[in-house]
A and B are shown apart, each in its own frame.
Chain A
């Protein structure tokens, strides 16, 4: 599995992106990440809930209770306007970062 500390700095964006597509709850998000990366990257639940806390504190996402699942209410997350703006900003930043790193990583192997 890939070294997760490089990805770690971008977890906020990854999770925001998933919530942007549709409101989701915790397990759904972790499953999505595994599926989309073909299990090359799996998020630890502990990390996931820490990110939720952080994003919610920064008011980039907000939560609400949805349908009943196995014996309880699911907590869903939706992205806020601020969250969308933030995500847009990080996308720009990432493109730039990628270009810079590529300058040094390309044509080697």
Chain B
């Protein structure tokens, strides 16, 4: 009967350990052993009976699905808030730089407004991205 236990252990090797997992394994081993005894009572050799029980068992996929086994997906942290903050600070610095250059070198022509508008797209897009991700 060790073979049944080993087989079930093997089947469940991808399932993360939990109490639930142990319970199901226990239950399955239990029931498979009973099946083996049943098959033996019908005149099968122990070896054959064990093999038949194992073959009949089928694919573990379904149980894995129910137990919620997912391939560890790279947990994407929500970075949108940090992105937004970064973009705002970046924008402020860039605009400050333009304002400084503008008033220091060419105080009679006000041109810093144009690059300011261009740069504003950055925090604006980050803002909407943050807004959208926050709603999820």
CB within 8 Å of B: which residues of A?
Answer: 25-27, 30-31, 42, 44-47, 49-50, 53-54, 57, 69-75
Contact = CB atoms under 8 A, between A and B. Distances in A.
A46 B30 contact: no
A70 B57 contact: no
B81 interface: no
A44 B59 contact: yes
Contacts of B30: 26, 69-70, 72-75
B34 A45 contact: no
Q: Does more than half of chain A's interface fall in helix, strand or loop, or is it mixed? A: helix
Interface in B47-89: 56-63, 65-67
B27 A53 contact: no
Given A26-B27, A53-B24, A53-B63, A46 B57 contact: yes
B24 A46 contact: no
Interface residues of B, number: 25
B6 interface: no
A67 B84 CA distance: 62
B32 interface: yes
Contacts of B32: 27, 45
The residue among B31, B35, B60 with the most chain A CB atoms within 10 A of its own CB is: B31
A42 B63 CA distance: 17
A49 B27 contact: yes
B27 A71 contact: no
Contacts of A47: 58, 62
B56 A70 contact: no
Contact of A25 (B26, B31, B67): B31
